[in-house]
Amino acid sequence: MKNRLAAALVFASLAAAGAGGQQAPPAPQEGAAPPLTFRVDINYVEADAVVTDAEGRVVTDLTQADFELLEDGRPQTIAAFSLVNLPVERAVRPLFLGAPVEPDVQANTGAEGRIYVIVLDDLHTSFTNTPRVRQFLRAFIEQNFGVNDLAAVVYTGGRAVAGQEFTNNRRLLLEAIDRFAGRKLRSEALELNDALSARSQNPDRDPRSESQLKLLDPLEMERAYNARTTLRAIRDLATFMEAVRGRRKAMLLIGEGISYDINDPFTNSSAGIILQDTNDAIAAATRANVAVYAIDPRGLSAFEEAIEVAGTPADVTPSQFSVTGSLMNSLRLSQQSLQVLASETGGFAAINRNDFAGAFARVVRENSSYYMLGYYPTNERRDGRFRRIEVRVRRPGLQVRSRRGYVAPRGRAPDTRAAAGAAAANRLDAAVGSALNSPLPLTTLPLSVSAAPFRGTAPNASVAIAVEMRADAFAFTEKNGTYLDRVQVAFSSLDAKGTVRPGLKHVLGMEMSAATAALARARGFRVISEMALPPGRYQLRVGAAEENAARSGSAFYDLDVPDFQKPGLTMSGIALTSAGASATPTVRASDPLKDVLPGPPVTVRDFERNDQVAFFAEFYENAASAAPHAVDLSTTVRAEDGRVVFENREERASADLQGKSGGYGYAVRFPLTDFAPGAYVIRVEGRSRAAGADIPAAGRDVLIRVR
């Protein structure tokens, strides 16, 4: 797509390209939450249901036998069943810090959580409501967003740089929210009132009939364009999420709704198109099992614009036009648009209320505990018609809430045989491609990733990457005492503008002795690589596939690459290793730190007390004072209660950098023998003593655990 609505929408086209190698739909199961899968199975439909008792409490002890599922009144066979019960996990926050330490390792092995797409409809939100939107969304993220949740932020106005791809990083989500600014057009009532005032002052005007007054709105075409843009954003995002199976997906639509009157096609030229776009958005959401939760930030203050009105022209009668009546009609239409999108997709609309906290609490509740039912419809016609879904329970006294139905696809079903044949021709490439392009991290092959940017060849940084994968399910082939397998690892990155940068691809021909294969099964397998990236904000994607067992996985890493060329003191990432973790079988496909770190960079952050930790970082000083000066480098390790358990302080001379392009290298080692079990924060910091220069300190924190 040339005009991407947000960086998240880039993945829609990528996911479609990789659908041939994705996972099968979930198998029937009870009790446990189903794994996320990423195959768009043509004839497979999912429906989630929230069951409550007479007091409104969620009921979680039902079995598949307690449910009945009907489509258009006809019973359907439930092919997959599970109870999804997701806790809201909180981040570990050491007592001496005001906020949790951001993890420097990302993995696809964490507990499953809720999936939110936060759609900021800046095209239909007044600028005056900007602070309110930022405030209640910040409260939602800070109070209700768990470390096991994933969320993306999308702007309907096309501000891809302002949005945020799927992440569980609160800071990045809050930064995307803080960039929000409403830019809704001035209301139809005020524009029409101004147009009528100008008309009344024109002595040569032609008489106008009542039905023609609407044509005087000078912003009608732009209003129609904004309405279509928002609806198509909802449609495209829902289509993008269709590939995700096994979870309820919540679209939080934040905006004041669309007030374009689709019921008056005579004076609104785009009414028919907008009506079709509305139907398309609802159809895409129902097919993808995406529930729209519409939050109107106006609350109870809906007529703020009325104070701008100076007065209606004297020659316009109340039966022809009324500012109050027009404002009320716009309010009704906009709220109705939110209610339709929400009710038709299984969500709800929070309108005419100031209790935003209560609305978000309900969203969390509905997406935390529910039943997921999957079935293959007996009606396989692709006629584009609405299919009504009804979920019932046999136990008396219970209430069931589920979506009303879905819109069947239209047209001929795609032929998946060609895609399957292509995948078979090169299974590793296809599997890695699907893993990289999956909408969310693919968990079939467990992965963890760490990444540390260092100064590279200007303007790029050199990002050192460590990938560790579990090999306990690798299907090694034994031949003459040697254990054989092939693993492919590939990298790509997506910047804030939605530009995809492919990275290196490594095909590893594994030939191991029995002892090494046993060690790999017990400890996993590690690959070290690197990527050159200019300064900016990225989502680093890592995909891996193992040939013999046909397993693949992906992990996404939120990466900020500093501008190491800017004036002042800047710091690289922290590459960490340990004596124990270094024993994991490692392939150094491309290791930029092999000469400065005593072992390979690792993704492990839990260590035994008999282990020893080492790390390496660099500090870069640009345009510093010509006078010789010192730079202080320090490491402080604190326990959860703030006690200092280890310190290291060193000094570097500015003369050491003269004529060199590197930085002040800083390598530290410390044993964990005297560390009691628990969490610890490693603080690495640099300070310049350049005379006459007020240079801020540069530092980073790393959270580790000792067992």
* pTM reported for the whole predicted model: 0.87
Q: List all residues 6 or more positions away from 324 whose beta carbon is below 8 Å from its beta carbon.
A: 306
Kindly report the backbone phi and psi dihedral angles of residue 17, in degrees, each rounded to the nearest multiple of 5, phi listed first. -70, -30
* Mean pLDDT confidence for 478-496: 92
What lies within 8 Å, CB to CB, of 202 at 6+ separation is none
pLDDT per position as a tens digit, 155-165: 999 877 889 99
417 pLDDT more than 50: yes
> Minimum mean pLDDT among 159-163, 206-210, 438-442, 450-454: which range?
206-210
What is the number of other CB atoms lying within 10 angstroms of the CB of residue 502?
12
Q: Which residues contact 8 (CB under 8 A, 6 or more apart)?
A: 117, 152, 154, 163, 164, 165, 166, 237, 240
Per-residue model confidence as pLDDT tens digits over 649-701: 999 998 877 656 678 999 999 999 999 999 999 999 999 988 766 789 999 99
Over the stretch 503-541, which tens digit does the pLDDT of each residue have? 999 998 888 899 999 998 899 989 999 999 999 999 999
How many helices (H) and strands (E) in the chain?
Answer: 11, 33
Mean predicted confidence (pLDDT) in 34-52: 74
Each domain of the chain, given as residue ranges in start order, spans 7-11+114-202+223-354, 49-86+368-412, 424-706
CA dist 573 and 589 (Å) reads 20
Left (φ > 0), alpha (ψ -120 to 50) or beta: where does 692 sit? Answer: left
Quick one: pLDDT band at residue 201, thresholds 50, 70, 90?
Answer: low
> Of 153, 154, 123, 125, nearest to 141 (Cα)?
153
Alpha carbon 280 to chain centroid distance? 23
Does domain 7-11+114-202+223-354 correspond to CATH entry 3.40.50.410?
yes
pLDDT at 255: 97
pLDDT at 3 over 80: no
Confidence class for position 44, pLDDT limits 50, 70, 90: confident
Q: How far is CA 132 from CA 11, 301, 307, 389, 393, in A?
A: 30, 12, 20, 37, 41
Give the pLDDT of residue 302.
53
Tell me the one-letter amino acid at 275. L
3-state secondary structure of 485: strand
> Hey, what's the torsion of the CAs at 636, 640, 643, 649, to 10 degrees?
0
| Local structure of residue 25 (DSSP, 8 states) | P
Looking at the predicted structure, is the pLDDT value of residue 8 above 60? Answer: no
When mean pLDDT is compared over 162-176, 267-281, 403-417, the highest value belongs to: 162-176
Q: How far apart are CA 541 and CA 248, in angstroms?
A: 24
**Dihedral sign for Cα atoms in the order 548, 554, 555, 561:** positive
Q: Which H or E run includes 400? A: strand 399-402
Contact by Cβ (8 Å): 599, 577? yes
CA distance 22 to 10: 18
Which helix H or strand E contains 546, and what residues bound it?
strand 536-546
User: Under CATH, which number does the domain 424-706 receive?
Assistant: 2.60.40.3880
pLDDT digits (tens, 9 = 90+) for 74-114: 999 999 999 999 988 888 777 778 788 999 999 998 778 99
